[in-house]
Structure 1
Amino acid sequence: MQPVLPPQGPSPRGQLRLVVGSALRQPGALPALQSTRLLDRVRERIRGLHYSRRTELAYLHWIKGYIRFHGIRHPAEMGGPEVEAFLTWLADARGVSASTHRQALSALVFLYAKVLQLELPWLQAIGRPRAQRRLPVVLSHEEVAAVLAGLEGLMALFGRLLYGTGLRIHEAANLRVKDLDFDHRALVVRQGKGGKDRVLMLPQVLVPNLKAHLKSVHALWLQDVQEGRAGVFMPDALERKYPRAGASWPWFWVFPQATHSVDPSTGVVRRHHLHEDSFQRAFKRAVMAAHITKPATPHTLRHSFATHLLQAGYDIRTVQELLGHNDVATTMIYTHVLRLGGGAVCSPLDRMTGFARSE
């Protein structure tokens, strides 16, 4: 059975450096696992090390795909050649990107080093694709306005928040009521990429819309409380420390789903946050309606946010902090975008006087 590719997980390159580096250093013994089934042991180890929920889902996906690819063989019976065969199949037959390839490898390294706790003499011999440096897709101010105008209702508010703050789509979806500070016009991102918190400006133009939106959200929360529903998802450590916090208003989602669904990690029926796919579909329709030919995705709003700030004269360090980048070199990619097209070198054709400008 062929595994289905998952959505891009969090920081595959950074996660690979972390997992491979720790595997090569051979750290001290990890706590014994209590679970008996392999995938339950993977979950237990991931949660014990406080990895994000997105990382858990991504790692489980690749580990299950690896096992299925080799005919449901137990990973302890396999090693380097089988890992290489699976990764080669992903690259050749499935045509995955370099970042997806690295994510799959980091999942398997985690499995062998942290769960099975086996030696990895074959690790250095595993091929790793080189990442191709690509410039981000950036929309002009006019294009952003056209796309946002094509979104309606909740999706319009969500899209304007993405562009107005530079949030990643999963960061916006995971916002809690307590993360909005209207008095200081601030928005707090909790446990963003790399597990870091950061503070962003809250666009003044969105304040009335967000306040009105929260009134309707409060009605959903009150309905859940009156029906005795389980509280919203809470990180494991907070769930244990504050078991009733998930049912409180401050921890409720800013963008909750309209219906309830089963929490795959616990089997509990509760209200989850807005599914990212819902906005991605709405965004795609808005891009098409605006007749934009660029391969724009919701993440393009983040790229456009950064580029437009630099165009407005904000310094690179400020933009780095707003985006939550560890390394300013990551943010520097947007300066390359600024040097493209009309904002860069003047074409010699435009300097020639023998050609009339086309009207």
Structure 2
Amino acid sequence: MDMHSRPPKLMDRVKATMRVKRYSPRTEKTYCYWIRFFIRFHGVRHPLSMGAPEVKVFLEYLAMERHVAAATQNQALNALVFLYRHILEQPLGDIGEFSRAKRPRRLPVVLSHEQVTQVLSHLSGPMRLMGSLMYGSGLRLLETCRLRVQDIDFERQIVTVRAGKGAKDRTTLLPAICIPCLQQQISTAQRQLDCRLAHGREPVTLPYALGRKYPNAGTSLAWQWLFPASRPCFDDTGKVVLHHIHPSAVQKAVKHAMRAAALPRPGSCHTLRHSFATQLLSQGTDIRTVQELLGHKSLETTQIYTHVLGKGFAGVRSPLG
């Protein structure tokens, strides 16, 4: 049989379908991991020869033997539901009752404004600006890394988050105190762009097929990363490109700053976003507004912060005084 006439392999079909449906690269990698794990768990049987009973056994194994978190078990389930519904076109239907991983109720770690200021004082340069945006704008780590020059609107003092979690766009607050540093960061981006153009170096990575639709987009300041990587990398096609800073570099810097600040409960990058939400709510900001600024799909997700606030929320006081 001619190699070109062979049907595509299962995992190739999974990847192709996820890209057509605009799933994020991270989700693609995660779903592929769980699908491969499921197939290996059942002795490398093809998923078409299996169904809901085998999925149930696998999920119970994850909870009872591997002791995975509830979110991890749900992630594996979502991957398999996607496989059967969109690739094999044989929806699983009702899996029935199965042992679920326990979901402990944990409140997020939040910091006071003074504690955040202390953490930021242990950061410098772009890392300090990124930390300031996670706290001052409520951005997720990856959303901060993916900011482009055009996403900053100084006149209206807003930040536009493009294709955030759930592939949604939203706008959020731009702290006035960040404006001078952002202007400096954009000036740096302009100088770096001029240098790359002068030496015919690597283009900036662009979303989807934008580079084909607008061939000059990669050479415009608007599309440059606000926080570029320190060196170029290879894209999926093997071409050398300039990507944004890797999230792990920011995580490492923020963790060091948290330790240096000697906090009673050190957190992470997401702690800065949590602190943004609690600060707004403690000031009396409407919870729906906070939901929109954070980009939460469900109000229930935002409501977790009301439990963190305790007596300070909306001026409520204990009857005991």
TM category, shorter: 0.7 to 0.9
Distance 1:90 1:243 in 2: 47
Distance 1:223 1:77 in 2: 57
Distance 1:254 1:244 in 2: 18
SS in structure 1 of the partner of residue 229 of structure 2: strand
Decide whether aligned partners of structure 1 residues 37 and 266 sit closer, same or farther in structure 2, where only a CA change above 3 A counts.
Answer: farther
Shift of 1:59: 1.6
Distance 1:230 1:125 in 2: 53
Task: Give the structure 1 partner of residue 136 of structure 2.
Answer: 164
Task: Give the structure 1 partner of residue 150 of structure 2.
Answer: 178
Contact in 1 for aligned 2:56/2:95 (Cα 8 Å): no
Distance 1:203 1:166 in 2: 10
Distance 2:96 2:223 in 1: 44
Amino acid in the other structure paired with 1:177: V
Amino acid in the other structure paired with 1:88: E
Amino acid in the other structure paired with 1:234: L
Shift of 1:212: 1.0
Shift of 1:63: 2.3
Deviations 1:94-151 (A, max 9, x none): 4322112111110111112111223425634555546443322111122111111111
* Pair 1:323 & 2:294 matched: yes
Decide whether aligned partners of structure 1 residues 334 and 249 sit closer, same or farther in structure 2, where only a CA change above 3 A counts.
Answer: same
Distance 2:219 2:280 in 1: 38
Distance 2:187 2:7 in 1: 43
* Pair 1:285 & 2:256 matched: yes
Moved more, 303-312 or 68-77: 68-77
Distance 1:295 1:93 in 2: 31
SS in structure 2 of the partner of residue 332 of structure 1: helix
Task: Give the structure 1 partner of residue 203 of structure 2.
Answer: 231
Task: Give the structure 1 partner of residue 67 of structure 2.
Answer: 95
SS in structure 1 of the partner of residue 242 of structure 2: strand
The structure 2 residue matched to 1:207, chosen from 172, 179, 189, is 179
Task: Give the structure 2 partner of residue 297 of structure 1.
Answer: 268
Shift of 1:81: 4.2
The structure 1 residue matched to 2:159, chosen from 184, 187, 192, is 187
SS in structure 1 of the partner of residue 231 of structure 2: strand
Task: Give the structure 1 partner of residue 117 of structure 2.
Answer: 145
Shift of 1:36: 0.8
Contact in 2 for aligned 1:190/1:196 (Cα 8 Å): yes
Contact in 2 for aligned 1:80/1:126 (Cα 8 Å): no
In structure 1, the gaps of 5 or more residues are 1-33, 352-359
SS in structure 2 of the partner of residue 123 of structure 1: coil
The number of residues matched between the two structures is 315
Shift of 1:240: 5.0
Decide whether aligned partners of structure 1 residues 118 and 275 sit closer, same or farther in structure 2, where only a CA change above 3 A counts.
Answer: same
Decide whether aligned partners of structure 1 residues 347 and 292 sit closer, same or farther in structure 2, where only a CA change above 3 A counts.
Answer: farther
Task: Give the structure 1 partner of residue 79 of structure 2.
Answer: 107
Task: Give the structure 2 partner of residue 49 of structure 1.
Answer: 21
Distance 2:21 2:118 in 1: 44
Distance 1:83 1:295 in 2: 38
TM-score scaled by structure 1?
0.78
Contact in 2 for aligned 1:173/1:275 (Cα 8 Å): yes
Decide whether aligned partners of structure 1 residues 120 and 341 sit closer, same or farther in structure 2, where only a CA change above 3 A counts.
Answer: same
Distance 1:304 1:95 in 2: 30
* Pair 1:249 & 2:221 matched: yes
* Pair 1:335 & 2:306 matched: yes
Shift of 1:91: 2.5
Moved more, 150-159 or 161-170: 150-159
Shift of 1:90: 2.9
Contact in 1 for aligned 2:60/2:98 (Cα 8 Å): no
Decide whether aligned partners of structure 1 residues 261 and 87 sit closer, same or farther in structure 2, where only a CA change above 3 A counts.
Answer: farther
SS in structure 2 of the partner of residue 117 of structure 1: coil
Decide whether aligned partners of structure 1 residues 210 and 299 sit closer, same or farther in structure 2, where only a CA change above 3 A counts.
Answer: same
Moved more, 290-299 or 243-252: 243-252
* Pair 1:133 & 2:109 matched: no
TM-score scaled by structure 2?
0.86
Distance 2:195 2:58 in 1: 48
Amino acid in the other structure paired with 1:289: A
